């Protein structure tokens, strides 16, 4: 089996590492990959949304399965592209088709889906510039804080949470009339603010059965104590201590089952990951959002805890016999801390040399934004490396992670020193 992973982040390095442990795989390819995936796979420098280039890569390298990391190729329809092409239609794609990817591609669609299938979520209404006045009126019926979401993909920036009603109305108008987030905000979902603690639950499904992967908590803000700008994620912990069995049973009954059955009822043949962002409000789950892929950096905390062969699970997804596959998870706790470039998530420099990461034994070093030039590993993005350790307790895992981080150096390296501390 030859496998192609699409993407270039820590998530894709984690997929590559886990898949490289499978005896069933001959050769792994990652496109475009990073300096970490270069160690166990062949990197191919193409853009995952350039489907013609993906096709060429797949045919040239005898690829049997494509694992799609990020959402953009899925929302753009890469799975449909494969099915519609005579040369590609028998190659398995792990990731939903367009009709499933819209769960992430349109917040309005995902809210309608949840409403239709009785899946707990915040009360909402959607507005465009044509019914802006009704949007103002709907805001009047809510109490602060006000949650405004661009309907379409906005690189994780399309959600505004505002305390002031007047400001919320101004922002709504900016979004729908002045395209604050481009085309993505021509429709805006306004929803009730959900109280509680946030966590993510990941599901792998073949469209019929599913496996619930370990839960994780993501740390989205750049600053310690959850302050400052939102980022793609600064760290993760898996499992989430407050998500006990009683809560996760509720998540399965009230959210996971109705989601998978709802997809079936709506005729959506969904093969891939469902990432469910949840709020735990006093033991009751409510869905904040769906993503149609794994999270980053959550994947770097979740995959190292899975004991089963990941390729075997993917084969179950592709052949729709996932229910026959064994699935087990270690009870050890994983903590992941993201090392970022100084300035991120605003402007930052690339091309800084990274040292000290090669001989780390007590942690797994996942590359995110890195590349190789003249045999040197350089920073090549905002999020540079994700350092994961396993331990018998959060404290032990964190100690290993922060101890490893002390050995790693690059100019203006930044990271949060409080990952997981809120869970102790």
Where does this chain bind ligand GLY (CB under 6 A)?
A: 218, 232-233, 291, 295-296, 298
Select from ligand GLY, ligand AMP, none the partner in contact with residue 233, using the beta carbon and a kind-dependent cut-off of 5 to 8 Å: ligand GLY
Is residue 315 at the binding interface for ligand AMP, with CB under 6 A as the rule? no
Shortest spacing between CB 286 and ligand AMP, in angstroms: 8
* Residue 288 found at the interface with ligand AMP (CB under 6 A): yes
| Residue 363: burial class (beta carbons within 10 Å; 0-12, 13-18, 19+) | buried
Identify any residues that bridge with 353 across adjacent strands, giving them in sequence order: 378
Look at residue 295 and give the partner it binds from ligand AMP, ligand GLY, none, a contact being a CB closer than 5 to 8 Å depending on partner kind.
ligand GLY
When asked if residue 193 is in the footprint of ligand AMP (CB under 6 A), the reply is yes
159 binds, among ligand AMP, ligand GLY, none (CB under 5 to 8 A by kind): ligand AMP
Q: Binding residue for ligand AMP (CB under 6 A) from 16, 63, 93, 194?
A: 194
CA-wise closest residue to 29 among 51, 72, 62, 52: 62
- Least distance CB 139 / ligand GLY (angstroms): 26
Annotate 239-257 with DSSP letters as a single string.
S-TTS-HHHHHHHIIIIIH
- In Å, how far from its chain's centre is CA 236? 12
Residue 364: count of CB within 10 angstroms of its CB: 22
Q: How far is the CB of 68 from ligand AMP (least distance, A)?
A: 19
Kindly state the smallest distance separating residue 289's Cβ from ligand GLY, in Å. Answer: 9
Applying CB under 6 A, among 71, 191, 206, 298 the residue interacting with ligand AMP is 191
- The entry of ligand AMP, ligand GLY, none near residue 296 (CB within 5 to 8 angstroms by kind) is ligand GLY
**Number of CB atoms found within 10 A of residue 349's CB:** 13
**Rounded to the nearest whole angstrom, what is the least distance from the CB of residue 227 to ligand AMP in the complex?**
14
CB half-sphere exposure, 32, CA atoms < 13 A = 12
Give the integer Cα–Cα distance in Å for 10 and 275: 16
197 contacts ligand AMP (rule: CB under 6 A) = no
Measured CA to CA, the distance from residue 3 to residue 1 in angstroms comes to: 6
Nearer to ligand AMP, 17 or 274 (CB): 274
What ranges make up the beta strands (E) of 248-368?
A: 272-281, 284-291, 333-341, 364-367
344: phi then psi, degrees, rounded to nearest 5: -55, 140
Query: Of 44 and 278, which CB lies nearer to ligand AMP in the complex structure?
Result: 278
Closest distance between ligand GLY and the C-beta of residue 217, in Å? 10
| Smallest separation, CB 296 to ligand GLY (Å) | 5
CB of 158 closer than 8 Å to CB of 180 = no
**What DSSP letter does each residue of 382-412 carry, written as one string?**
SEEEEEEEEESSHHHHHHHHHHHHTT-B-TT
The residue (of 193 and 327) whose beta carbon lies closer to ligand AMP is 193
The only residue of 122, 162, 294, 310 in contact with ligand AMP, by rule CB under 6 A: 122
CB 262 within 8 A of CB 117: yes
Q: Does the CA dihedral 403-243-220-272 come out positive or negative?
A: positive
Output 147 or 213, the one with its CB closest to ligand AMP. Answer: 147
289 makes contact with ligand AMP (CB under 6 A): yes
Residue 99: count of CB within 10 angstroms of its CB: 17
Q: How far is the CB of 220 from ligand GLY (least distance, A)?
A: 7
Picked from ligand GLY, ligand AMP, none, the partner binding residue 259 (CB below 5 to 8 A depending on kind) is none
Interface residues with ligand AMP (CB under 6 A) are: 122, 147, 149, 159, 191, 193-194, 198, 277, 288-289
């Amino acid at each position: 089996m030859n496998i192609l992973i699409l993407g270039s982040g820590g998530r894709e390095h984690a997929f590559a590492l886990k898949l490289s442990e499978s005896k069933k795989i001959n050769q792994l390819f990652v496109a475009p990959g990073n300096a970490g995936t270069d160690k166990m796979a062949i990197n191919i420098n193409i853009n995952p949304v350039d489907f013609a280039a993906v096709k060429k890569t797949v045919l040239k390298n005898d690829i049997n399965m494509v694992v799609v990391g990020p959402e953009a190729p899925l929302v753009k329809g890469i799975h449909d592209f494969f099915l519609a092409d005579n040369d590609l239609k028998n190659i398995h794609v792990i990731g939903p088709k367009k009709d499933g990817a819209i769960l992430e591609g349109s917040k309005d669609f995902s809210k309608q889906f949840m409403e239709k299938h009785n899946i707990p979520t915040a009360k909402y209404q959607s507005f465009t510039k044509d019914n802006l006045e009704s949007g103002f009126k709907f805001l009047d019926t809510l109490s602060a804080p006000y949650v405004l979401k661009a309907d379409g993909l906005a690189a994780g920036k399309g959600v505004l949470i505002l305390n002031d009603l007047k400001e919320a109305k101004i922002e709504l108008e900016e979004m729908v009339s002045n395209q604050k987030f481009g085309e993505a905000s021509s429709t805006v979902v306004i929803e009730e603010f959900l109280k509680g603690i946030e966590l993510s639950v990941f599901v792998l499904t073949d469209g019929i059965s599913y496996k619930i992967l370990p839960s994780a908590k993501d740390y989205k803000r750049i600053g310690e104590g959850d302050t400052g700008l939102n980022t793609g994620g600064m760290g993760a912990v898996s499992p989430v201590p407050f998500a006990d069995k009683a809560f996760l049973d509720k998540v399965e009954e009230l959210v996971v089952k109705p989601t998978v059955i709802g997809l079936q009822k709506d005729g959506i043949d969904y093969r891939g990951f469902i990432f469910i962002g949840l709020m735990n409000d006093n033991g009751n789950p409510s869905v904040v959002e769906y993503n149609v892929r794994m999270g980053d950096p959550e994947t770097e905390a979740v995959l190292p805890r899975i004991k089963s062969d990941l390729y075997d699970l993917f084969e179950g997804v592709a052949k729709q016999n996932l229910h026959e596959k064994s699935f087990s998870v270690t009870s050890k706790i994983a903590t992941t801390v993201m090392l970022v470039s100084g300035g991120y998530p605003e402007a930052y420099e690339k091309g800084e040399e990274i040292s000290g990461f090669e001989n780390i034994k007590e942690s797994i070093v996942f590359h995110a934004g890195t590349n190789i030039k003249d045999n040197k590993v350089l920073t090549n993005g905002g999020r540079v490396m994700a350092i994961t350790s396993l331990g018998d307790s959060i404290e032990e895992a964190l100690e290993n992670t922060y101890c490893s981080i002390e050995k790693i150096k690059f100019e203006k390296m930044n990271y949060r020193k409080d990952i997981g501390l809120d869970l102790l």
